[in-house]
Amino acid sequence: MRPSRTPLFLARRSYRVRRLRDFARLLPVLGTFLVLLPVLWAPAATSAPDTAPDGIYLFVVWAGLVVAAALMARGLGSEANKTETETGAGAAAEGED
């Protein structure tokens, strides 16, 4: 029953920060999907050995995640110390009961 202090629409800057947080939440999901993808390739139809390509694929995904997280961390690092009252959505999702 918090009084609704949060405005319905946001300025461009706050809007971007919100979307950045959404991305921060999404990134591990995306990463999980990508690293689990080799499971679907497992029963290799071809007889050609695929260990090296698989490994290269995994390292590329890994590097991609690192780069994405690094770009994200720059935007979120200053946010990390703040409380999440102004985000509303996250706090509300976590704070039921």
**Alpha-carbon gap, residue 44 to 32, rounded angstroms:** 21
Which stretch of DSSP H or E encloses residue 94? Answer: helix 89-94
| Residue 83 in contact with another protein, rule: CB under 8 A | yes
| Residue 66 in contact with another protein, rule: CB under 8 A | yes
| Residue 9 in contact with another protein, rule: CB under 8 A | no
Tokens 């995306």: give the residue.
Answer: 30
Backbone torsions φ then ψ of 69, nearest 5 degrees = -65, -35
CB of 9 to another protein, least distance (A): 22
- Closer by beta carbon to another protein, 11 or else 48: 48
Which one of 8, 11, 42, 45 is in contact with another protein (CB under 8 A)? 42
Coil, strand, or helix at residue 24?
helix
Which one of 8, 11, 36, 45 is in contact with another protein (CB under 8 A)? 36
